[in-house]
């Protein structure tokens, strides 16, 4: 009875169940990200958009690799296979250190390449009255999505030809064009008050910061899983040694 009670207490203090639960959550997240990548990839193919093969390959390798690592960790915890947990810990150590260091070192560089490049691209379209058809199409979609008009000076950037995407239907965001305030504009037309450049750049910064936070958070989460796997391996080793003592009838109460 004393031996059974000791074993039960040892099981209750084990990291086995929390470790398995954390990895099941991780597998669900990896699977979700993989499905999102596949959908994004398919959408780009259907719309004949160019993709970076290197970036796409890295995304697939990271997501599939992390999914397989979690499967390996769950198998190791359920079956008590230390070699599975050793491979799991090695993979998680490499993944967590890589993404944390990469995120920290590349933050400013990626910011400059993505956010500043997009801002410069939009400013290069000025004046809007002389921009090409492709730029107009892009601006129309931005104006509809973010409920804004023009880039720098609002509707004035379009001169006499204010596009329908500037028409405002949201109270509080509109400005009323009275009479001939803008040549060619209908009388009493309502257009969006705010220019698009500041709104669009703010949304880009927010999306960029969120993406960086997710990357860094993933690295920290992988680090936590790494620590849990190391502690679990230690518990498994001590349990095996303890059970060996029980089997050999050399257990002395109070020795541990």
pLDDT above 80: residue 108? no
Q: Note whether residue 74 is domain-resident.
A: yes
Query: What angle is formed at CA 219 by the lines to CA 215 and CA 221, rounded to 5 degrees?
Result: 115
Strands 189-192 and 174-177: antiparallel
- Amino acid 82: pLDDT: 84
Q: 16 is written with which tokens?
A: 């086995």
Number of domains, the chain: 1
Q: Note whether residue 200 is domain-resident.
A: no
Of 9-13, 68-72, 124-128, 153-157, the range with the lowest mean pLDDT is: 9-13
124 CB burial (10 A radius; 0-12, 13-18, 19+)? exposed
Quote the domain boundaries for residue 43: 2-111+217-247
- Amino acid 145: pLDDT: 85
Q: Note whether residue 195 is domain-resident.
A: no
pLDDT digits (tens, 9 = 90+) for 145-161: 888 888 888 888 888 78
What pTM does this model have? 0.64
What does the H/E/C string look like for 185-203?
CCCCEEEECCCHHHHHHHH
**Measured CA distances, 79 to 20, 72, 178 (Å):** 12, 11, 76
Q: Note whether residue 99 is domain-resident.
A: yes
- Amino acid 237: pLDDT: 78
pLDDT above 50: residue 8? no
Q: Note whether residue 6 is domain-resident.
A: yes
Could you tell me if 204 and 115 are in contact, meaning their C-beta atoms sit under 8 angstroms apart?
yes
Q: Note whether residue 177 is domain-resident.
A: no
Q: Note whether residue 236 is domain-resident.
A: yes
37 or 183, higher pLDDT = 37
Residue 213: pLDDT band (50, 70, 90) is confident
Residue 180: pLDDT band (50, 70, 90) is very low
Residue 55: pLDDT band (50, 70, 90) is low
Q: Note whether residue 16 is domain-resident.
A: yes
Q: Which residues face 190 on adjacent strands?
A: 176
| Complete DSSP assignment for 64-113 | HHHHHHHHHHHHHHHHT-HHHHHHHHHHHHHHHHHHHHHHHHHHHHHHII
């Amino acid at each position: 009875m004393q031996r059974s009670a000791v074993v039960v207490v040892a099981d209750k203090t084990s990291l086995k169940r929390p470790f398995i639960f954390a990895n099941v959550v991780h597998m669900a997240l990896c699977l979700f990200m993989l499905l999102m990548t596949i959908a994004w990839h398919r959408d780009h193919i259907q719309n004949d958009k160019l993709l970076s093969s290197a970036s796409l390959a890295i995304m697939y390798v990271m997501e599939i690799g992390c999914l397989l690592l979690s499967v390996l960790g769950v198998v190791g915890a359920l079956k008590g296979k230390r070699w599975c947990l050793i491979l799991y810990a090695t993979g998680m150590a490499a993944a967590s250190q890589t993404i944390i260091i990469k995120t920290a070192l590349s933050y400013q560089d990626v910011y400059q390449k993505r956010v500043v490049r997009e801002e410069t691209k939009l400013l290069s379209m000025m004046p809007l009255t002389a921009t090409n058809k492709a730029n107009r199409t892009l601006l129309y979609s931005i104006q509809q999505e973010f409920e804004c008009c023009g880039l720098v000076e609002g509707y004035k950037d379009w001169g006499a030809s204010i596009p329908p995407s500037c028409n405002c239907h949201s109270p509080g965001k509109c400005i009323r064009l009275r009479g001939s305030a803008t040549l060619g504009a209908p009388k009493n037309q309502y257009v969006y008050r705010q220019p698009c450049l500041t709104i669009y750049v703010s949304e880009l910064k927010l999306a960029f910061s969120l993406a960086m936070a997710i990357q860094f958070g993933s690295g920290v989460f992988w680090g936590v899983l790494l620590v849990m796997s190391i502690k679990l391996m230690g518990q498994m080793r001590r349990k095996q040694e303890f059970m060996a003592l029980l089997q050999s009838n050399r257990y002395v109460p109070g020795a541990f």
